Amino acid sequence: MSEAESRRRPGELEGQILAVLGGAHSPLTPREVLDRLTPPLSYSTVVTILTRMHDKGMTARYREGRAFRYAPLTDADTMAAGRMSALLGSGVDRGTVLRRFVSTLEPGDAELLRQLFDDKG
């Protein structure tokens, strides 16, 4: 596998960690998160990602002795939607970005968007 193939998409690790935290019945330590991830990462990577997620308001953090426990404050879907909104608001031509986005939709996605717009109105 090439380096480009092994690279994760932006937010992929955060999404995986949110899924682990969301599936737990109580807040988890970084070690407990690490033990539930596949493939496993280094402990320091998990601690770094959890700290960044806490700084972004994505997780709650509770001190337990010298360690912390983390719980989700959001989910992967909300996180992805936030990234999409941020990209749209980044100062580029929204119309062009939306047009190009629509051209990449999978079959059925356009109908789903129509339904979502109908439900919103």
DSSP state of 1: -
**pLDDT for residue 9:** 75
Q: How far apart (Å, rounded) are the C-alpha atoms in residues 49 and 28?
A: 14
Q: What is the pLDDT of residue 2?
A: 43
What pLDDT, on the 0 to 100 scale, is given for residue 48? 95
Spell out the per-residue pLDDT of the chain, length 121, in tens. Answer: 445 446 777 678 888 999 999 999 999 999 999 999 987 789 999 999 999 999 999 999 999 999 899 999 988 788 788 888 888 888 678 888 888 888 898 889 988 988 888 887 5
What's the rounded Cα separation, in Å, for the pair 77 and 87? 16
For the chain, the C-alpha Rg in angstroms (whole number) is 18
Q: CB–CB of 112/102 below 8 Å? A: no
pLDDT per residue over 82-105, tens digit each? 888 888 888 678 888 888 888 898
Residues 90 and 97: beta-carbon distance below 8 Å: no
